[in-house]
Copies of this chain bind each other. A is one copy, B any other.
């Protein structure tokens, strides 16, 4: 149970991966220790060899999702509208390729169950929004005049919009093109922004 150090053993990683998939398929209520163990081809007590309890699995999952998604999708240099669009293009491409990762967009929805996780999730979500807000701030900084627009609100709008689009896409069982619909959303915000600040 080397999990405490931040690194996961191979087996732990398998467990977390299956957990992500199960949640992505049937929501948080689909993740039970029984079904998880069945999926791994072991019995339930075996899971407790690798994680202290179910909460620990979810916590590890949060870390993995954050790393997977946000390290692969650094937001750092996206200081122009087009860079922003490109960034979300990469996100939608990633989700299309591996839909289970969409869970990362809805982390908050399953935090309510376990109070221990609530803090983790909230911090994570706040971090994401702040990062995005910082991008909006720097976008505006590079554009000369005009009254400054609330960067936090912009970030909230974009993040919220993305969530809704991804949710619909999943409710429709990923049958339509997320990349297309997603890009329309992001450019819509980017354009209104550009129009305003131009």
Contact = CB atoms under 8 A, between A and B. Distances in A.
A192 B156 contact: no
Interface in A4-25: none
Contact of A113 (B29, B122, B160): B29
Interface stretch (A77-85, A92-100, A164-172): A164-172
A194 B108 CA distance: 33
Contacts of A55: none
Contacts of A146: 195
Contacts of A167: 108
A184 interface: yes
Interface of A: 26-29, 108-109, 112-113, 118, 122, 129, 146, 149-150, 152-154, 156-165, 167, 171, 184-185, 188-189, 191-197
20 contacts: A29-B112, A108-B171, A122-B171, A129-B164, A146-B195, A154-B192, A156-B164, A156-B165, A157-B157, A157-B160, A157-B189, A159-B160, A159-B164, A160-B160, A160-B161, A163-B163, A191-B196, A192-B193, A195-B197, A196-B196
